[in-house]
Amino acid sequence: MPRPALHSALVRVRPIWQPFSSDWRQVALCSRVRLARNLASRPFPLRASAEELGHIEALLLRRLHAASAFRGGVRGRIDDLEPFEREMLVERRLISPELARGGAGRAFAAAPTHHLAALVNEDDHLRLQAVLPGLDLERAWTMADAALSQVDKGDGFAFDTRLGYLTSSPASVGTGLRASVMLHLPGLALVGQVGQMQQALPHLGCAIRGVFGDGSEAQGDLYQIHNESSFGESEAAILERLGGVVRDVISMEHSARLAAARRERLLLYDRIGRAYGILRCARLLTAEEALGGLSALVFGVQAGILPTVRTDTLNRLLLEVQPGHLQQRSAGRVEPAAREALRAQIVREVLSAATT
């Protein structure tokens, strides 16, 4: 896809994992279901040669192009993209940080509305994901499974009658399903309960990670909770168990927000006030500082402390302050040393306009 077409296709589509809401009860931002598959009789990506990866990429991109679920969307080879374009795709949750590193045979495709995306030759030949707003795991699974059936042309995926679908990661062997829900947890972070939750989740067959996947740090009080294994259970059972855990965490977050509003009100006002002051006045802002501050402002809007700031303004800033979108805004010419100044300028101008 030509570069201007990629830019316009990304920018004009509202990200699935938005929006934050002014409703204090909103905790789950989006649900994602990803299915990992490998072509039968083909070497897995980690064992395949560059030539073999190229053949697999060409085959799967043809199938994705023909699939009605992806018709009219965007697709391309990762190595054909500029670094900031890869970052934009990661920031919009269309590809993983691992795929963004590029390499032989790595490619992607996304549906026009970006609710479906396919990753080619990451750790597996194909990872197809569906992302929907809120807590909606079952419907995301149905969409991903339906799209996958359009890509399967009958030559089969690697499958063992005892183990199930074979994947590069032992945690995905079986159904090949990795499901996750992105949560905004400022209440639990404020009262210091995130660490306790992180310790408890593995006992429930789940894990918590940062917003951009395995190994990533939490930014802006955003976390993902996902299933740890896909072996020995049906897809329905995995989704039901994960959904139950997520609903429990949402209940904990509601309790933490109410506790902060009732018993830690001075601490709550201090955090929101500090964040607002920094974002309105800072001349240099790191991405982590900006996301953390915006998270606090969202909490302030939801708690009725910042009634003059609209959540759609904060949603827009949430993307614009991230490195890939920041560079796209300036045609990819912003040097790392200048990004903090530009990020601070954008935040100051938007918040100033929003509160006047």
Assess whether 251 and 300 both reside in one domain.
no
Domain boundary, last residue among 241, 258, 275: 258
Residues 246 and 321 in one domain: no
| CATH code assigned at 174 | 3.30.590.10
In this structure, the answer to whether residues 285 and 247 fall within a common structural domain is no
26, 147: one domain:
yes
pLDDT value at residue 329: 80
SS (H, E, C) the chain: CCHHHHHHHHHCCCCCCCCCCCCCCCCEEEEEEEEEECECCCCCHHHCCHHHHHHHHHHHHHHHHHCHHHCCCEEEEHHHCCHHHHHHHHHCCCCCHHHHCCCCCCEEEECCCCCEEEEECCCCCEEEEEEEECCCHHHHHHHHHHHHHHHCCCCCECEECCCEECCCCHHHCECCEEEEEEEECHHHHHCCCHHHHHHHHHHHCEEEEECCECCCCCECCEEEEEECCCCCCCHHHHHHHHHHHHHHHHHHHHHHHHHHHHHCHHHHHHHHHHHHHHHHHCCCCCHHHHHHHHHHHHHHHHCCCCCCCCHHHHHHHHHHCCHHHHHHHCCCCCCHHHHHHHHHHHHHHHHHHHCC
Residue-wise pLDDT tens digits, 110-155: 999 999 999 999 999 999 999 999 999 999 999 999 999 999 877 7
Q: Is the pTM value of this prediction over 0.85?
A: yes
Q: Are residues 235 and 327 in the same domain?
A: no
Domain end, chosen from 258, 285, 311, is at 258
Same-domain pairing of 139 and 218: yes
pLDDT of 232 reads 86
Q: Of the candidates 239, 258, 277, which is a domain's last residue?
A: 258
Res 264: pLDDT? 85
Do 153 and 112 share a structural domain?
Answer: yes
pLDDT tens, N- to C-terminus, the chain (356 residues): 666 667 677 777 777 765 566 677 789 999 999 999 999 989 999 999 999 999 999 999 999 999 999 999 999 999 999 888 899 999 889 999 999 999 999 999 999 999 999 999 999 999 999 999 999 999 999 999 999 999 987 778 999 999 999 999 988 999 999 999 999 999 999 888 888 888 899 988 999 987 766 655 677 899 999 999 888 889 999 999 999 999 999 999 999 999 888 888 898 999 999 999 999 999 999 989 999 999 999 999 888 888 778 888 888 888 889 888 888 887 767 787 789 999 999 999 999 887 66
Do 220 and 342 fall within a single domain? no
Distance CA 226, CA 66 (A): 31
Total domains in the fold of the chain: 2
Are both 122 and 165 inside the same structural domain? Answer: yes
Considering the domain architecture, whether residues 253 and 314 belong to the same structural domain is answered as: no
Q: Are residues 291 and 221 in the same domain?
A: no
Tell me, yes or no, whether 212 and 344 share the same domain: no
Residue range of the domain that includes 338: 265-354
